[in-house]
Structure 1
Amino acid sequence: MRYLARSAAGRPVVGDDGGFVPLSAAYPDAGSVRDALAHATDGLRGVDSLPAARTAWEAESFGPFLGDPGKLFGIGLNYADHAADLSEAPPDEPASFFKPATAATGPGGPVRLPPTAESERVTAEAELAVVVGRTCRNVDESEVDDVIAGFAPVIDMTAEDVLQRNPRFLTRAKSYDTFLVLGPRLAVPEPDADDSLDDVEVRTVVNDTVESRNTVANMHFSPRELVAFHSRVMTLEPGDVISTGTPGAHPVEPGDSVRAEVDRVGSVSADVVR
């Protein structure tokens, strides 16, 4: 994989598993990660060929890979096991919803729980997110790789007791500030890589205990299907993020630490506070 990222101070970089260089070394016309997303759809330039010294990832602190995300989609009940856990039948079509941009936060969080008067049961959910790199409409699934910039780990949060009171409260249950933790790096497949992601495992980890896990192959709708489907509903734009559903949610309390782990893509963690 190659990566796009932003330092905690907002400086955009491009890199690989061995480290990173300033984004401007690869794309002088790109002043931000969002500017580079269209380049990512074709595969990023190799770091070894760039006129800049490589820096180790550990030498820098990183914020969310996008400082200005576009539309934020969530997908419900996209793993059969998760639907069964909730005693719900899997939907025949993607069960999608929106989260506001103000719900997004970055690595470390913290995730801030709402007052107990509003919600006493909040769950954390690890997910694989797919990020759009080009403006598109009515994309065929066979051509969807031409508009995908890459993939990232995210933590989705739900005020579950709010949702249980009435399913029409979904937007509120999902939209509290900090209720979507974006990972530190956007993973971009190597140019011409045949990467189905089917064997990628997604894990929800709370306080270093794996609470749920499943593989992308067990999704009802694959990441590529989700991009194609939503492009038939609306115009997708660079920086739109589709969280593809969770293998399982776990309740969290102040003092907990939550982590989303996605094989070959990366991980992101956040502390929980009230």
Structure 2
Amino acid sequence: MTVQYLARTTDGRPLLGDEEGFVPLSAAAPDLETVRDALPRAAAGTLPDVDAVPADRIDSAHVQFGPPLERFGKLWGIGLNYAEHAGDLDEQRPDEPASFMKPNNAVTGPGGPIRLPPVEQSSRVTAEAELAVLMGRACRNVDEDAVDDVVAGYLPVIDMTAEDILQRNPRFLTRAKSFDSFLVVGPAIAVPEDPLAFEELTVQTIVDDRVAAENEVRNMLFPPREIVSFHSDVMTLKPGDLFSTGTPGAEPIDPGDHVRASVETIGDVAAPVVR
């Protein structure tokens, strides 16, 4: 599958790339000043071809990546979206997407770090690898078969939960999900040339090089296209809105741990854990 990438450096320079490296976005499309400007074109499948750009590629190993957007829009999370994970938490399988929202302050870029709250606030935080869907065009009431036309691309994310807070009362979900750095976003937005075959993708939660949880996107209760369509019936979706589509499993983390989310075809994101 041919995939291009949109990214930003830590000092905010927008990039366009592929598996062979990155070029300045302005060299590929002078009319695009930011990655956000490029999202509608990513959704429309009209990003410039990196091979046609008159600039030398920079190997990704030599790029210091920041968050791919300076600021994301609405941040949706989907809970209990794998039957096995719901069972692990002794939760009943939901009949509709179990969605929640996170504030923008929760976002941190690739490399983190993930900062745990003081132990008097929470002594049990878990990390969860997820596939995220990034919106590229404003839309409302989108049918599932039209979702690919409004999605800019995909990225791996690590979502965190203060589980001890949540277990005290399910109404504490927002607080349990909203500490600073509780959403680590991947280094680049993957923009596939063709519609993504979700059933072929595997998502892994990895802590200290150990696969703590793994599942295939085919086993989601609510697939990504259904998630986008469902929420577009609730509210207008806009470029930069992000859907974290659920995790195959959560793993408790402590200071000194190293967490990685790996999403097949899309990429990896990792961060150390500190307090």
| Distance (whole Å) between structure 2 residues aligned to residue 27 and residue 218 of structure 1 | 39
Question: Is 1:87 aligned with 2:90?
Answer: yes
2:144 to 141, 144, 149: 141
Paired positions, count = 272
Q: Secondary structure at the match of 2:129?
A: strand
Question: Is 1:70 aligned with 2:45?
Answer: no
Q: Give the aligned partner of residue 49 of structure 2.
A: 46
Question: Is 1:128 aligned with 2:125?
Answer: no
CA contact (8 A) 1:106 1:184 kept: yes
| Distance (whole Å) between structure 1 residues aligned to residue 182 and residue 15 of structure 2 | 26
Mean alpha-carbon deviation: is it higher for 257-266 or for 86-95?
86-95
Pairs within 5 Å for 1:229-248? 229-248=230-249
Q: Give the aligned partner of residue 192 of structure 2.
A: 189
Q: Give the aligned partner of residue 158 of structure 1.
A: 161
Q: Give the aligned partner of residue 15 of structure 1.
A: 17
What is the deviation of 1:23? Answer: 0.6
Q: Give the partner amino acid of 1:262.
A: V
Q: What RMSD in Å do the two structures reach over aligned CA positions? A: 0.8
Q: Give the partner amino acid of 1:223.
A: P
What is the deviation of 1:40? Answer: 0.3
Q: Give the partner amino acid of 2:161.
A: T
| Distance (whole Å) between structure 1 residues aligned to residue 246 and residue 130 of structure 2 | 6
Q: Give the aligned partner of residue 208 of structure 2.
A: 207
Q: Give the aligned partner of residue 97 of structure 1.
A: 100
| Distance (whole Å) between structure 2 residues aligned to residue 66 and residue 72 of structure 1 | 13
Q: Secondary structure at the match of 2:197?
A: coil
CA contact (8 A) 2:148 2:195 kept: no
Q: Give the aligned partner of residue 253 of structure 2.
A: 252
| Distance (whole Å) between structure 2 residues aligned to residue 16 and residue 137 of structure 1 | 31
Q: Give the aligned partner of residue 5 of structure 2.
A: 3
- CA-to-partner distance for each residue in 1:159-178, whole Å, 9 max, x for gaps? 00000000000000000000
Question: Is 1:113 aligned with 2:113?
Answer: no
TM (norm. structure 2) is 0.97
1:25 to 20, 27, 30: 27
What is the deviation of 1:9? Answer: 1.0
What is the deviation of 1:100? Answer: 0.2
- CA-to-partner distance for each residue in 1:64-105, whole Å, 9 max, x for gaps? 111210000000000111011111121110000000000000
- CA-to-partner distance for each residue in 1:196-250, whole Å, 9 max, x for gaps? 2211000000011000000100001111111111100000000000000000000
| Distance (whole Å) between structure 1 residues aligned to residue 106 and residue 170 of structure 2 | 19
What is the deviation of 1:123? Answer: 0.1
| Distance (whole Å) between structure 2 residues aligned to residue 269 and residue 125 of structure 1 | 12
* Identity over aligned pairs, percent: 64
| Distance (whole Å) between structure 2 residues aligned to residue 264 and residue 196 of structure 1 | 10
Q: Which runs of 5+ in 1 are unaligned?
A: none
> Structure 1 residues 134 and 194 mapped into 2: Cα distance closer, same or farther (>3 Å)?
closer
| Distance (whole Å) between structure 2 residues aligned to residue 7 and residue 31 of structure 1 | 14
Mean alpha-carbon deviation: is it higher for 242-251 or for 34-43?
34-43
| Distance (whole Å) between structure 1 residues aligned to residue 155 and residue 111 of structure 2 | 15
Q: Give the partner amino acid of 1:5.
A: A
Q: Give the partner amino acid of 2:254.
A: E
Q: Give the partner amino acid of 1:221.
A: F
Q: Give the aligned partner of residue 219 of structure 2.
A: 218
